[in-house]
Structure 1
């Protein structure tokens, strides 16, 4: 039995109050907070497990003045609203029936019974809220030391319970793994077809979470070798997996933070119609769809004038397209996208009747201004004068 290091989050006053309300023997910290603390990683979310039933948890917290929100009551999950942030508390559970997409659960009384229904051994570590002693029922501490992501029990059975565990395995393997677990790899390959039955939103969430990790290129390559990637992203060919590898190297060299949508674009051909189809299938948000479409619209000419690209597509869009093509970003370092200073009122004041002709003149001046590298007011005035002279010569222009 190991012991959890006394990280800052374990000393929070709100957690002390929660422990007092439920009783130290009725509460264990579990999952990511325990795992990440043992790996000396930042802790984002804190989850607790308890043998108490939800009604008892709500009543004890009410008496202690702790606000409780029933965020997942049908599965026994409540959220305690604490000063330092929310904490999810879930009653011990066991699976009664599963269909690969959802589970019917019943409440349990034993910690090991609850642990046995979790996915990986490294996620089934329970820490006492006061002593910080760790209960490890399936060798999770040893796997964590070995950086091995291993299913609890038979991997085929765990995946049949929830098909999403295939993608979760690859995400956790990319984030924490070093040694591959062959049984897990074989099970994921054998049951890859079951991913077709999952909702598109769940697939998109896991895929983007994986792509947002520091360097998932080796994992993505292995997913394709095992026939998993083809099920969820059939557009991704071997050349696109190599493109992802090059993109990640370019991000690292340029000091650009990972971006999941940019990396998704690397796994697709540079074709807006393909990007639109994938975005619709994965139910991406409007913002994500716009970013993916912009990245898919990349052309070789982008690298010839990075600042013009940033002006037309925005700085983020330009960075995406240049990185995807392995082009230099130095022209954008410290540069701010300027605002086009010419206004329609200026043109009207020069004798042009308000209407389509004013807009056409503005567009013509703007194109020249961008092509010439965003010159100052004097040059804009000269460009405007050129357009006005042309209008005077040919009023229909």
Structure 2
């Protein structure tokens, strides 16, 4: 605990320096200001990449975080849950999770730091393994105690660091972003419309009348700032104006984007063609495809590292992410599921009432799942046997009556 206290004191002193106007806070600087925001932001400018990242990170953001003991029993009230829901003063639990997922996917690794009851994401972290294969962490030359930080890697073939979109798809990403920028700039500037002024005579710098006429024509052309503007430019003999075609060919650039944009999805773990087709045909299948291909492995990796960060290597407690798959199901489908669970009283079982947005009754009867109102609870063996026994006795009575 002495090492942790020394580190916490260091952080406190550095924060005090910052309040007095200094900018020497290495720890908070690396956390709040980051070191690669410019590159990360430029990646997010690609709409397709942004959409894929949002779809993946939103699933984890919407997941419930639970803690289980060694027997798989959920621990409802634990201090770690409060920290995960309110990690620090500048991020909510949802924002923290989205940031962690996006950083993990783009940069290939992320470093959560647990400082007391505050959880942060650090950048500019230097890591190394010693001769005993123990990982050490430094931020700006300051040593971070290993029990306060985890190195979550999007693992590839290197055990020291992870790989993300920035590295895996670097060449493809740069090409896509450049192509998008070219088209954007072109249409920002009105399709790069330009004009060519042709003269039959040589341009003579000493010819004042010629220079005056050329400047007047250029002024008229440059003043066209709206597509609805119309300019009438009288020209003398030997002068003509032709429109200059833009060298940027939309069809070729769009064909390039249609081919290479899809590759970016593969670096995030999904096939864009498959995902797009499923999204159009069946949203539930699309979300399940995304969940199984991309989200589920991230949930497992995050859960493992956060469990070690909060509980250490010798605890049997585990942090897990719990996704409600019914969130991806249309409301009409949920209604059909409810009608299939019971024949009547669609909102009677609490499980169906909760699924459809009704208030639960929280009684033993409504918390059980029935095959139908006149039958017994599903999974209640004794009740089922009693029901069968009653049926056998009635059959005997009917048989006696027949004789």
Q: TM-score range by the shorter chain?
A: under 0.3
Q: With a CA cutoff of 8 Å and minimum separation of 6, indicate the structure with the bigger relative contact order.
A: 2
Larger radius of gyration: 2
TM-score, length-scaled by structure 2: 0.25
